Chain A
Amino acid sequence: MTDLTRRQFAALTAATVAAPLTLVRSPYAAPAVSAGDVVERIRKGIGVDWKAETVDTLKAGDAATAVTGVVTTALASMAILRQAVDAGANMIVTCEPTFYARSDARTPPAGRGGRGGAGAAAPDPPPPPPPADPIYTAKNAYIDKHKLVIFRLSEHWKLRRPEPFAAGLAAALGWTKLLAAGDASRYAISAASLERVAADVKKRLGSRGGIRVVGDPKTEVRSAGLLPGSTPIAAALDLLPGVDLVVAGEVREWESVEYARDVVFSGQRKGLILVGRIVSEEGGMNACASWLSSIVPEVRVRHLPAGDPYWRPA
């Protein structure tokens, strides 16, 4: 001890105190968290009963994989998988299917993707299995090569309160502080024309061609309701009468769009903005990243938006 100067002593003490934190942050010394552990923490911590029948399952990868980082997104597209790998993350938590259908199987759905197409007579004997699909093949190969684990989290995340997709969309729109009702769905926004609000929504959400509007562009709107994801006519019938504007993800055009068209034509000063299902869900998946950070402190969790799939010709 006598050999140590005061400065050396101070440095040593600091190092000793800091050591446990350094160890926790080190990728070499940290206790590995597996993808299965992350799923278990989600199931235990999400705060709603886990359903027996659910789409919220592992879609690819091995649950025993040690997680190096987590990415949340509305859609686990190839571009998102590449961005995750570039960022050093090997677990993806996605709101929507990875393999292009609710069934989310790693091979093309039976009966689709083969030759024949609409209007073709059913061949006899039964058709051979469809040829290998280059998109499925390449996506599977990429997942396997990089040992990615993909978990879908949709139904259960939606059941939390306040509803995270609505709260997340509001945050993306800059409306969080404008909350008007007790839940996350209604907001008192600054009065502006539907045209201006639509342009602002487009800008804030990074929309390209996916945004579509019903209503008179000059209508002044000052209250707004949110319907992220995909919603049936009942949701529009519940919400639109009480607000000037509904911002929705995806609706059936023969339902809520025609309803909104009639509402507007009948003289009610209202509007409907559709931003697309995937775009509408990114806010909720951003919120999901924050929540996952709190239950998986061992690794970095970040949100990567899949972006607006659509463009519109000039």
Chain B
Amino acid sequence: MTAGEIVERIKKNLGSPWRDTTYRDTFKFGGAETTVTGIATTVFVSIEVIQRAAAAGLNMIIPHEDTYWNDRDDTTIVSRDPLYAQKVELMRKHDIVVFRIHDHMHSQRPDFTYVGSARDVGLESRYETAPGSHRFVIPETTLESLAGEVKRRTGARALRVVGDPKAKVSRVQLGVGYATPAINVPDVDVVISGEQQEADGGFDSPAYVLDAVTLGVTKGWIMLGHAISEEAGMLEMAAWIKGFVPEVPVQLVKAGEPFWAPK
């Protein structure tokens, strides 16, 4: 079967019309005519992911994020670096086809990035205030112990936290990737998300939480990192695709956390 047929089935099964205006959800390498031997879902098309997918006999990669180190996958920005040519040559050699699913994944219900991240960090659905609210009221704990639990479950080595470790928290708002909810919502103690600009943005949560700590107001901010935050949901994505593409193997090939933390 071809990559084009698989993309058609994805579009048909989404439950909402496909928007051709997206620059994100398009072929990034190879095309519709490529014969597919197996599908790898992942968060980032790293060189390592390409090698591991190829070794597992999976030549179609369906990532949530970009391939060429910028959101628009504008190759003119990166093509002067020899690593770009190396990456392209590696994909050509293994007859790889890359089709990104980002915008439509976030507009799908449920949005698998939230489902996967909630599962990964241990926010159980019985604590969610309403389906799709991404807001959880968990048994009271401290920010330190919540962050420790999130670190243990996700395996995130370079997780970052702002807030008073001893603060008692129970109301958690989950965000994913770069879609970090603002921390100044009155009935939210903690935001857990992937990545957010540290300052000079739409809302600078680190600075707000620092001031909350100084003023004795309970607020906490747990940043998982972009890859950890959104990769979990690519497991749900793989299971969903498997449901309507029974002809070839479909599996998650993890890009994993790119960071480590010095002692």
Residues of B within 8 A of A260 (CB): 258
A309 to B205 Cα, complex, angstroms:
10
Interface of B: prevailing SS: loop
Q: List 15 interface pairs A-B (beta carbons < 8 Å), by A numbering.
A: A78-B211, A79-B211, A79-B214, A112-B202, A117-B134, A119-B134, A135-B217, A209-B161, A213-B158, A254-B70, A258-B258, A266-B86, A309-B198, A309-B207, A313-B151
Residues of B within 8 A of A (CB): 44, 46-48, 65-66, 69-71, 77-78, 80-81, 83, 86-87, 132-135, 144, 147-148, 150-151, 158-162, 165, 173, 175, 179, 181-182, 184-188, 194-195, 197-212, 214-215, 217, 223, 225-227, 258-263
Kindly state whether residue A214 has any CB partner on chain B within 8 Å.
yes
CB-based contact B226/A253 at 8 Å: yes
Kindly state whether residue A305 has any CB partner on chain B within 8 Å.
no
CB-based contact B162/A100 at 8 Å: no
CB under 8 Å from chain B, chain A span 105-127: 108-109, 112-115, 117-120
Residues of A within 8 A of B207 (CB): 75, 77, 96-97, 100, 309
Residues of A within 8 A of B (CB): 55, 75, 77-79, 82, 96-97, 100-102, 108-109, 112-115, 117-120, 131, 133-135, 138-139, 154, 195, 198-199, 201-202, 209-214, 217, 230, 233-234, 237, 241, 249-250, 252-263, 265-266, 274, 276-278, 306, 309-314
CB-based contact B202/A135 at 8 Å: no
Q: Which 6 A-B pairs have the closest CB atoms?
A: A198-B262, A96-B199, A253-B226, A277-B198, A78-B214, A313-B148
A237 to B80 Cα, complex, angstroms:
9
CB-based contact A258/B206 at 8 Å: no
B225 and chain A: residue at smallest CB distance? A253
CB-based contact A101/B203 at 8 Å: yes
CB-based contact B69/A259 at 8 Å: yes
B195 and chain A: residue at smallest CB distance? A253
Least CB distance, A51 to chain B, in whole angstroms: 15
A212 to B198 Cα, complex, angstroms:
14
Pick from A100, A117, A266: contact of B173, CB under 8 Å: A117
Pick from A108, A117, A138, A237: contact of B188, CB under 8 Å: A117
